[in-house]
Structure formats: structure tokens, C-alpha cells
Amino acid sequence: MTDTPTQLFIGGSWVDAADGATMPVDDPATGEIIAQVADAGAKDARLAEDAAVRAQGEWARTAPRARSEILRRAYEIILERTDELAHLMTAEMGKPLAEAKGEVAYAAEFFRWFSEEAVRIDGGGGILPDGRNRMLLSRRPVGPCLLITPWNFPLAMGTRKIGPAIAAGCTMILKPAPQTPLSSLALAAILKEAGLPDGVLNVVTTSRAGEVCEPLLRGGRMRKLSFTGSTDVGRLLLAQSAEAVVRTSMELGGNAPFIVFEDADVDKAVDGAMVAKMRNMGEACTAANRFFVHSSVAEEFGRRLARRMGALVVGPGTRDGVDVGPLIDRVGRAKVEELVADAVERGARVLVGGRTPEGPGCFYPPTVLADVASDSRLMDTEIFGPVAAILTFDDEDEVIRRANDTPWGLVGYVFTEGLDRALRVSERLEVGMVGLNTGLVSNPAAPFGGVKQSGLGREGGRVGIEEFLEYQYLAVPVR
């Protein structure tokens, strides 16, 4: 977008960083710098905090219907600007335009969903068991929130937090990832246009995450942290949040098992694998990381998956017909290269891909590895790239044990045509979400989130708004 803002958004105004600092944003397909955006420091964070705290009281008192209609207007504007927003996202993040358009629709849907939830916040009440007191339960916003998002879904990770925060009546500071600040700034401009009052949303783009966020978390004025990112950073932020007892929602990393039983429909399993592995070039917390395939179908599955993966077109996301864009940066690509090299060293066979292309951009080809050893590093590391690692199994108990043998528990995928087995295995997987004969679970109307070290709380669904609400209980004597 030619008029995409590049300044900080504080108290409803676009402002430079107090020290005038800026940071570059580059296109991972070319390495070219596409924008310079304001690079906030601690002083800017304090100004954003002041604005969010100042706006909180009046915003909490705003009619739910008014909050709902702002979200609804923003939803409509986002859809009207699908092409512009998709181009912006592809430019700063790399995903192919068709996927970027899909993300715009997904991101917008969080605003529509939470515009509907804003007017359904209910309390409760009744006579207490002793008959002497009534209780009246009311819901209130938790207060000013710090929202921290990753680069892999630059728009949707923002709307998944901003939507329920607006619906609940919370003010907020959004700190997007430094690789993809432009989508968040464009979103702030849309919300302003949709009528969001000044100070309700503040956006601080920064390359100095610790300097900006730690004082906010320790200071005691922000009442909530909603974080999406890696488990290591999540752990650090949980510790920082402990000091002022800040409420937290954490959407962290994954290590999804993808299990194909001997009674699976292999067509469905390969289709599901293509989505679970290749959505967002494999740069998704929901990406299938470990393919456990029954030994009787492993060869056929591997061959067919390799054929499909090998047919994908790799290139700049803006080019027609491209299926797979670049990875986010050279560090991300080097990690994928190292994980593949380690697996091959331990005996994995490369069925397709596995070689980094020459030339500019952070491209890596769709890759399928068979006969992967259980002690390969990619078994306990998020690959975050287009690499499918196949292991075999023979027994249901064994595969469940191996699937659960990880500190993470975000999502699992199960492919079987047997109903009993489908339910039994799904119930025994230690994950927050299961894709049964499907490779896609994300939906704004469903509670997204994980167990174990994949996080705390849920985003989306009926429960998504709960993360931004408190109860107040009022005791009233019965006379």
C-alpha cells in the first residue's frame, strides 16, 4: 500500500520514535528494503502505556453494541482492501499472494466473530445455598493489555487478540514482530477509520523488544499479556509477568504429530499432509512436524507425498502460479538446512528437495525425508519450513507413546477410517486440537490453543473473549 503508515500509533496519532530511530523492513524474496518504520524505545512504550491506561475507563463504559459495530466496520474495510493487504503481507513476509488473501479473510473473520461476541457478554446470579445471600455476577474487562505477535501470520495473529480485547472493553498496546510491522500498522489505520477511539489501540513497532516490553510487564499498569510466539520467549515473559501478577494467555510453539494408520484413506492422508505441512511454507505452529506412518503404507504415502511436494512451484509470492514463497529470513533457512543435514547424517533418505537453491531470497524447496531416525534433531525442534519427516510405526500404543513424547501439545493429526480408533487415539493424544482426517484445524469460531509447553488459554471460539474478562461477584442479603 503506497500510503501504509510507518510511524508508531500512540493515543490515536502517528508519531516518530522519541529518539528518531527507524528500522528496515525487507522483502524475503529479494532481500530488498521495502520500508523504514519507527523503532520504538522505552520512552515510546511509556507513552503508549499512558495512552492505554488513560483510555481504559471510558472504553470500558462504552456500550457493547458500539464496540461491536466498530469491529464489524473494520471487518468490512479489511475485506474491501483484501488485495492491498495481501500485497503488503506478501512483500514483508513472503507468503504467496493466494495464501496472503486467505489470511486476510481469516484475519477479518476474527473481527466479525468478536463483533458478534461483544453483545453476548453475560453475567449470572441466583440465591446462594444458605438462602441468606444473593449473588450477582458481572463481567468486566481485565484492563490494559500488552499483545505480542509473531511474523508468520502478520494480520491474523493481531486480529485474533485485538478482536476479543475490543469486544471485552480492554485497551491495548500491540507489539508486532519486527520482520512484519507493516500489516499491523495498516490494521491500526483501518481500526481508526472504523471509529476506534484514541488510545484504545496503540502500536509500537520495535527492534528492541525487551527494552519496550519488560517495563510494561513489570510496571503493574498493564493487566494482561497475550503472547503468540516461541516457547522459550513465552517462558521468559511468564517470569516477567509474575512480578506484577499480570494475567497471561500464551500461544506457543508446537511439534505436531501426523499419524497415518494402516486403515487410512491414503488420498485423504496425502491431501491432509499437503495442508498440514505446506500451509504458510511450513512456518506455522500447527505445521505437521513428525509424520508417523504405519509401515504397511509408509512407502506408498512417502512416494505420493514426494510427487505432490516436488510439483509445487517455488518463487516470489507475487509471481503468478507460485505455491511456495521464501522463508522469513536467512537465519530461518539456515535452521532448516541444519535440521535436514542432521537427519540425513543419521540415515534419512531424501525423496525430494533437500537442496538450497542459488541466488537471492530465502528460498528452500519442498522436501520429503523417509526413514528418519527417532533421535534426529528435527524430532524435537520445530522445523518451521517445508520439510516432511517420515518415520514408521507398527502398533497403536507405540505411536501414541511416541507422539506424546514431547514437551509440546498444540495439535495432532490422525488419519484412519475406523471410528473407534479415531476417537480412542484422539482422546489419548496430549494436544489441545486434533485434525481427524483433515490437515486444517484453525477457525475463528473454534478454541485455538495447546496443552503442556504449547501454551495457556485459548484464542477464538466462545471462550476467546473470556481471556479478556474478569468476574465481579456481588453479595446481596436476601431480605
Catalytic positions are 251, 285
List the x/- string, 348-387, binding to ligand NAP by CB under 6 A: ----------------------------------x-----
How many residues belong to the chain? 479
Question: Nearest distance from residue 314's CB to ligand NAP, in Å?
Answer: 21
CB 286 within 8 A of CB 276: yes
Residue 475 beta carbon to ligand NAP: minimum distance, rounded to whole angstroms: 38
Amino acid 80 reads E
How many Cβ atoms are within 10 Å of 20's Cβ, its own excluded?
8
Assess contact for 205 and 23: CB atoms under 8 A.
yes
Nearest to 196 by CA among 120, 115, 122: 115
Residues 163 and 468: their CA atoms lie apart, in Å, by: 10
- Distance between start and end Cα atoms, the chain: 64
**What is the enclosing helix (H) or strand (E) of 251?**
strand 247-251
- Does residue 148 belong to the site contacting ligand NAP (CB under 6 A)? yes
Per CB under 6 A, the list member of 213, 256, 351, 465 interacting with ligand NAP is 213
Q: How far is CA 312 from CA 17, 267, 276, 321, in A?
A: 42, 17, 15, 9
Distance (Å, rounded) from C-alpha 427 to C-alpha 351? 33
The answer to whether 417 and 439 have CB atoms below 8 angstroms apart is no
Stretch that binds ligand NAP, among 26-34, 46-54, 142-150, 387-395 (CB under 6 A): 142-150
For residue 319, give the C-alpha cell.
509471481
The label of the residue with cell 449470572 reads: 124
> Based on CB atoms, which residue is closest to ligand NAP, 167 or 433?
433
Provide the minimum distance between the beta carbon of 332 and ligand NAP in the complex, in angstroms, as a whole number: 8
By C-beta, is 141 or 449 nearer to ligand NAP? 449
Number of chain residues interacting with ligand NAP (CB under 6 A): 27
Listed ranges 197-205, 225-233, 355-363, 369-377: which one lies at the site for ligand NAP (CB under 6 A): 225-233
In this structure, how many other beta carbons lie within 10 angstroms of the beta carbon of residue 311? 10
Q: Residue 12 in contact with residue 183, Cβ under 8 Å?
A: no
Min CB(156)–ligand NAP separation in Å: 9
Cell 542459488, residue?
A: 358
**253 in contact with ligand NAP (CB under 6 A):** yes
Q: How far is the CB of 138 from ligand NAP (least distance, A)?
A: 30
Q: Closest distance between ligand NAP and the C-beta of residue 392, in Å?
A: 26
Out of 150, 361, 366, 386, the only residue in the binding site for ligand NAP (CB under 6 A) is 150
- Asked if residue 150 lies in contact with residue 228, where contact means CB atoms within 8 angstroms, the answer is yes
Q: Which of 17, 252, 288, 306 binds ligand NAP (CB under 6 A)?
A: 252
Closer CB to ligand NAP, 97 or 213, in the complex: 213
- How is residue 243 written as a grid cell? 512480578
Q: Pattern of binders to ligand NAP over 447-466, x per CB under 6 A?
A: --------x-----------
Q: By C-beta, is 213 or 222 nearer to ligand NAP?
A: 213
Residue 410 within binding range of ligand NAP, rule CB under 6 A: yes
**Burial 65-82, CB ≥16 within 10 A → b, else e:** eebbbbbbbbbebbbebb
Q: Out of 40, 145, 182, 285, point to the residue binding ligand NAP (CB under 6 A).
A: 285
92: contact with ligand NAP by CB under 6 A? no
95, 251, 275 from 441: Cα distances, Å:
19, 15, 10
When asked if residue 236 is in the footprint of ligand NAP (CB under 6 A), the reply is yes
The region that residue 355 occupies, defined by phi over 0 for left and psi between -120 and 50 for alpha, beta otherwise, is beta
The span from the CA of 29 to the CA of 90, in Å, is 9
Name the burial class of residue 421, with classes exposed (0-12), middle (13-18) and buried (19+) by CB atoms within 10 angstroms of its CB: middle
The residue among 90 and 231 lying less far from ligand NAP, judged by its C-beta, is 231
Q: Does 336 engage in binding with ligand NAP (CB under 6 A)?
A: no
Contact flag: residue 389 with ligand NAP (CB under 6 A): no
Nearer to ligand NAP, 171 or 442 (CB): 442
Would you say 121 and 464 are in contact if contact means Cβ atoms under 8 Å apart? no
Q: Is-contact 185 6, C-beta < 8 A?
A: yes
* Closer by beta carbon to ligand NAP, 21 or else 119: 21
Q: Is 177 in the site for ligand NAP (CB under 6 A)?
A: yes
Q: Judged by CB under 6 A, does residue 229 bind ligand NAP?
A: yes
User: Contact between 233 and ligand NAP (CB under 6 A)?
Assistant: yes
Which CB atom, from 200 or from 212, has the smaller least distance to ligand NAP? Answer: 212
Tell me how far, at minimum, the Cβ of 157 lies from ligand NAP, in Å.
Answer: 6
**Selected binder of ligand NAP within 254, 315, 316, 361 (CB under 6 A):** 254
Identify which range of 76-84, 174-182, 194-202, 387-395 contacts ligand NAP by CB under 6 A. 174-182
Cell numbers given for 15? 508519531
Q: What is the C-alpha separation between 108 and 76, in angstroms, rounded?
A: 8
- Check residue 55 for interaction with ligand NAP (CB under 6 A): no
Which stretches of the chain bind ligand NAP, using CB under 6 A? 148-152, 157, 175, 177-178, 207, 209-210, 213, 228-230, 233, 236-237, 251-254, 285, 382, 410, 455
